[in-house]
């Protein structure tokens, strides 16, 4: 604006012309402009009109404007580029918490339609999975229990079938230590199998527990008694066991013979005290006690006869000592026969375990 006024002043433009020029350029005409009184001639007016054309006026006005515009554009570009490089425009946008909350709420409301069914569906699927898994586990456990029960039952019945053989070995007069040892091991195996079978009964619903337990009682008793008989036989085999009893002067060594007979009595007493209680062997056990006392008395007489060189008396006493042992042995064999008969009867009443 000031450039236009200076231009008008510099060219001595008249007031009327100044107002017109300002009107043409779009400025208000009430801008105070210093005027001076001067007289112009017609030539002056023509000269002014020739000099001041509209194009010259526009060019004169545009030059500083363009310069200013160019400078302003350069400054604006500098600051704009600096701002773009350093700080994003969004940083200066204010965060409207309410709008964010409304947006989140609207998202939740829009998702509520499928979140609920999804959660319920997931819960149902999880519940079904747990139920199926639990059912399969229970079925597997039941299958294992059934298989184990079948195996234990089969094994127990097979071992029980060995009892007649074990009865024969336990009650046979002529036996070897190897046979007795195997019989004892088989009895231990049978007892272990029966114990396992009885423990598995608690998880079975297909049998009457009371009936099966009543069936197992005589089986356990027979197995236990057979084991006791074997123990009884082993201990009794060390009671009143004699070698040759010398009856002539040439064969007698009183000191050695005295030690041998004393050892026989001592060992017999120890084994007698360890004999188990068996009903069929009770009479024999009482007879063993009497036989040991009798043998101890006969040993003294026998040694006395040898010291006195009474060899005929010593021979008679030696015969009595052997007869005492034979009497005890016959009673033992009778007890074995009785036990065999009773054991066979008990076994015949057994039935297969369910």
Of the two residues 269 and 212, the one the predictor is more confident about is: 269
Domain tally, the chain: 2
> For residue 148, what are its two tokens?
């184990």
Q: How many CA atoms lie within 13 A of 278 on its CB side?
A: 28
Look at residue 125 and tell me if it is in a domain: no
Q: Tell me, what's the pLDDT at 106?
A: 64
168-220 pLDDT per residue, tens:
988 888 777 778 888 888 899 998 888 888 888 777 777 777 888 888 899 99
pLDDT for 232 beyond 90: yes
Q: Tell me, what's the pLDDT at 123?
A: 80
> For residue 290, what are its two tokens?
């009497």
In angstroms, how far is CA 347 from the centroid of its own chain? 44
Look at residue 268 and tell me if it is in a domain: yes
Q: Tell me, what's the pLDDT at 250?
A: 77
Distance CA 141, CA 24 (A): 108
**Of 35, 68, 89, which marks where a domain is finished?**
89
Of the two residues 47 and 96, the one the predictor is more confident about is: 96
Are 324 and 291 a contacting pair, CB within 8 Å? Answer: yes
Q: Tell me, what's the pLDDT at 111?
A: 59
**Of 60, 89, 118, which marks where a domain is finished?**
89
pLDDT band at 320 (very low <50, low <70, confident <90, very high): very high
Q: Tell me, what's the pLDDT at 226?
A: 92
Q: To the nearest whole number, what is the mean pLDDT of the chain?
A: 76
Which of 169, 296, 318 is closest to 246 using CA atoms? 318
Look at residue 35 and tell me if it is in a domain: yes
Of the two residues 240 and 174, the one the predictor is more confident about is: 240
Q: Tell me, what's the pLDDT at 99?
A: 64
Look at residue 158 and tell me if it is in a domain: no
Domain holding 306, by residue range, is: 249-348
Q: Tell me, what's the pLDDT at 278?
A: 92
Distance CA 186, CA 321 (A): 37
**Of 65, 89, 113, which marks where a domain is finished?**
89
277-305 pLDDT per residue, tens:
999 999 999 999 999 999 999 999 999 99
> For residue 295, what are its two tokens?
């043998």
Which of 247, 206, 230 is closest to 353 using CA atoms? 206
pLDDT for 81 beyond 70: no
Note the helical H segments in 161-206: 163-171, 177-200
3-state SS class at 293: helix
| Residues 254-275: b if buried by 16+ CB within 10 A, e if exposed | eeebeeebeebbeebeebbeeb
pTM of the entire predicted model: 0.61
Cα-based angle 151, 155, 159 (whole degrees, multiple of 5): 175
**Could you tell me if residue 126 is left (phi over 0), alpha (psi between -120 and 50 degrees) or otherwise beta?**
alpha
Look at residue 194 and tell me if it is in a domain: no
Cα-based angle 142, 354, 227 (whole degrees, multiple of 5): 115
pLDDT for 261 beyond 90: yes
Q: Tell me, what's the pLDDT at 148?
A: 72
128-144 pLDDT per residue, tens:
878 887 877 777 776 77
């Amino acid at each position: 604006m000031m450039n236009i006024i200076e231009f008008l002043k510099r060219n001595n433009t008249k007031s009327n012309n100044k107002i017109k020029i300002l009107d043409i350029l779009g400025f208000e005409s009430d801008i105070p402009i210093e005027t001076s009184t001067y007289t112009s001639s017609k030539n002056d007016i023509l000269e002014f009109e020739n000099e001041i054309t509209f194009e010259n006026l526009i060019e004169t006005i545009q030059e500083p404007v363009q310069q200013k515009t160019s400078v302003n554009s350069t400054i604006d570009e500098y600051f704009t580029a600096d701002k773009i490089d350093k700080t994003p425009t969004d940083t200066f946008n204010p965060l409207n918490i309410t709008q964010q909350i409304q947006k989140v709420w609207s998202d939740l409301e829009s998702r509520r339609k499928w979140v609920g069914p999804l959660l319920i569906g997931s819960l149902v699927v999880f519940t079904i999975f747990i139920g199926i898994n639990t059912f399969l586990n229970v079925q597997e456990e039941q299958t294992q229990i059934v298989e184990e029960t079948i195996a234990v039952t089969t094994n127990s019945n097979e071992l029980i079938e060995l009892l007649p053989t074990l009865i024969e070995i336990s009650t046979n007069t002529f036996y070897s230590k190897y046979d007795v040892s195997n019989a004892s091991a088989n009895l231990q195996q049978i007892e272990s199998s029966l114990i396992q079978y009885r423990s598995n009964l608690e998880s079975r619903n297909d049998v009457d527990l009371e009936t099966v337990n009543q069936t197992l009682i005589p089986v356990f008793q027979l197995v236990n008694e057979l084991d006791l008989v074997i123990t009884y036989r082993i201990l009794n085999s060390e009671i009143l066991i004699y070698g040759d009893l010398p009856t002539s002067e040439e064969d007698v060594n009183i000191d050695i013979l005295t030690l041998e007979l004393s050892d026989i009595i001592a060992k017999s007493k120890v084994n007698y005290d360890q004999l188990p209680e068996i009903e069929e062997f009770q009479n024999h056990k009482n007879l063993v006690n009497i036989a040991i006392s009798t043998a101890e008395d006969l040993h003294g007489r026998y040694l006395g006869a040898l010291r006195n060189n009474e060899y005929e008396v010593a021979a008679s006493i030696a015969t009595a000592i052997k007869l005492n042992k034979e009497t005890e042995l016959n009673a033992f064999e009778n007890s074995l026969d009785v036990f065999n008969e009773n054991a066979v009867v008990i076994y015949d009443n057994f039935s297969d375990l369910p």
